[in-house]
Structure 1
Amino acid sequence: MTYYLNFYLDESGNAISDFFVVGGFYLNDSDYQNIQVYESKIKSNILKTEKSIRNYRNNFETDLKPYEIKKEVKWNNLSLNNKKALSSKIRFNNQTNISMISSLKDWQSKYSKQINLEAIYNMMVKNLIERTIKSLSVKKIIKNKDILNIKVYIDQRRISIKTKNNKQQKFKALEGYLKTYFYWNLHFKDIQIKVIQFESISHPLIRYADYFVGSIASMCNFLNNSEKSWYQNADLIFEQMHKKVPCTCSQTIVKQSKIIEQIISLCQKHNHIRKSKN
């Protein structure tokens, strides 16, 4: 049997950030038409939510810069009221939210290496996919005799030399890394992997990933006692994001940061609360 897994990922942070987050959500099904239906519903949810946020900004937040029609709504540009509205309007359409969190300072301290964000990003994407596959395998949703068809949708990543060939090399390198690693380390009949890079402005599913990783990064900084105003009420947004949609938050290195361990514990707590209500 062919089993389908689609990942939609973005990142938050850079080489000098306290925390670097890669995440978004995934869809899985043995029938690809079902995944397309879920995609359509999530897109509709995001577009309607963004429309309401734009309207609110234009009508009630006139002291703030209005959202330009031809530009996307980004997490970093949302006001607190916008974030509250966004987190309350996200609907469950069979997606599972996922995040992989790194404390770059602890990473550098533990391994005594300079930060190579490209390598760390690739490893975090690999870990997200691998742990998802292993989780589905433990639950008997997928079996070793299955063919896994995996698509990884990622945002057009910021790079220092902005040329078409350079961008293509970046995600081709990620695709090659994933193919080689999974071929050798995961024992399925076959694993087919394709990495697809999109501009988030034209893809609501990538913007969903941006909103989710933004909420996780904000929560990391909130728990780290950041005094910056844009992390205000990050705990409320985090809780709201976890109320309706199942989530797996994880860390790149075990026991690398007490803050990240708190995030994981809170994620598990909210998952338990949501399950008990259902």
Structure 2
Amino acid sequence: MTYYLNFYLDESGNAISDFFVVGGFYLNDSEYQNIQISESKIKSNILKTEKSIRDYRNNFEKDLKAYDLKKEVKWNNLSLSNKKALSSKIRFNNQTNVAMISSLKNWNSKHSKEINLDAIFNMMVKNLIERTIKSISSKSVIKNQDTLNIKVYIDQRKTMIKTNKRQKLETLEGYLKTSFFWELNFKEILVKVIQLESTSYPLIRYADYFVGSVASMCNFLNHSTRSWYQEADVVFEQMHKKVPCICNQAIIKQSNVIEQLVSFCQNHNHVREQKTNNVF
């Protein structure tokens, strides 16, 4: 049997940030048509939500710069009201949110060398996908005799020269293929990595919103006094109310803040599952 696993990922942070987050969501199914149906529903949800945010800005936030209809709505440009509205309007369409988080300051102090963000990004993407596969496999959804068909859609990397709107990222793709060949025991593993312009792809913008909320929560838990992290805990909780999520530490016990965030994520999942079970 061929089992399909699609990831839609973005990043938040840079080499001088306290925290670096890679994440978004994944869709998985043994029938690829079901993944395409979920993609369509998530796209529709994001487009409708972005329209409502633009309308709200134009009607009730006239003191703030209006959103350009030709440009994407980015997490970093959202007001607190916009963030709350967006996080409350996200709907569950069979996706699972995922995040891999690293403390770059701790990393830098431990290894005493310049941060290589591209290498860290590749490692975090690889670990995120690998842990997801192992989690799904542990539930007997996929078996070792199956063929895994993995597609990884990521936002256009800032360090890469753009050539087209669906550019392969061969360095990451080769790294994933080699790593999974040695570390995962499946009949066959097919991997394809594609860079997408978030301006044209709402699914990548979903990933931007999610990693933005996770990075904001990290800084909130780190007691940042900056205004744009205000009520990040409220937005983080809303993001978890309807959609299951797996937040991971890139390195175990690297940061108390990241451990707190992972614990919050697990608790929110438990509460959501209890409410879902009570419905039935």
Same fold per superposition (TM over 0.5) = yes
In the TM superposition, what is the alpha-carbon distance from 1:194 to its structure 2 partner?
A: 0.2
CA distance in 2 between partners of 1:195 and 1:115 (Å): 24
Residue in 1 that maps onto 2:122: 122
Write the mapping of 1:119-268 to structure 2, written as runs, cut at 5 A. Answer: 119-159=119-159, 163-164=161-162, 171-268=169-266
Residue in 1 that maps onto 2:45: 45
Map Cα deviations across residues 211-270 of structure 1 (whole Å, 9 max, x no partner).
000000000000111111000000000000001000000111110000000000000000
In the TM superposition, what is the alpha-carbon distance from 1:167 to its structure 2 partner?
A: 11
In the TM superposition, what is the alpha-carbon distance from 1:163 to its structure 2 partner?
A: 3.1
Q: Could you say if the C-alpha distance between residues 258 and 138 of structure 1 is closer, same or farther in structure 2, counting changes exceeding 3 Å?
A: same
Structure 2 contact 214–236 (Cα < 8 Å) conserved: yes
In the TM superposition, what is the alpha-carbon distance from 1:103 to its structure 2 partner?
A: 0.2
**Structure 1 range deviating more: 170-179 or 64-73:** 170-179
Q: Could you say if the C-alpha distance between residues 139 and 240 of structure 1 is closer, same or farther in structure 2, counting changes exceeding 3 Å?
A: same
CA distance in 2 between partners of 1:36 and 1:131 (Å): 23
TM-score when scaled to structure 2? Answer: 0.96
3-state SS of paired residue (2:251): coil
In the TM superposition, what is the alpha-carbon distance from 1:170 to its structure 2 partner?
A: 8.1
Q: Could you say if the C-alpha distance between residues 36 and 250 of structure 1 is closer, same or farther in structure 2, counting changes exceeding 3 Å?
A: same
Q: Output the amino acid matched with 1:138.
A: S
In the TM superposition, what is the alpha-carbon distance from 1:109 to its structure 2 partner?
A: 2.0
Residue in 2 that maps onto 1:274: 272
In the TM superposition, what is the alpha-carbon distance from 1:168 to its structure 2 partner?
A: 9.4
Structure 2 contact 167–194 (Cα < 8 Å) conserved: no
In the TM superposition, what is the alpha-carbon distance from 1:112 to its structure 2 partner?
A: 2.7
CA distance in 2 between partners of 1:164 and 1:186 (Å): 32
TM-score when scaled to structure 1? Answer: 0.97
CA distance in 2 between partners of 1:114 and 1:196 (Å): 28
Map Cα deviations across residues 148-204 of structure 1 (whole Å, 9 max, x no partner).
000000001112xx6346999982100000001101110100000000110000000
3-state SS of paired residue (1:195): strand
How high is the sequence identity, in percent, across the aligned residues? 77
Map Cα deviations across residues 92-113 of structure 1 (whole Å, 9 max, x no partner).
0000000000000111222233
3-state SS of paired residue (2:16): coil
Structure 1, unpaired ranges of 5+: none
Q: Output the amino acid matched with 2:87.
A: S
Q: Output the amino acid matched with 1:196.
A: I
CA distance in 1 between partners of 2:126 and 2:99 (Å): 12
Structure 2, unpaired ranges of 5+: none
Q: Could you say if the C-alpha distance between residues 35 and 71 of structure 1 is closer, same or farther in structure 2, counting changes exceeding 3 Å?
A: same
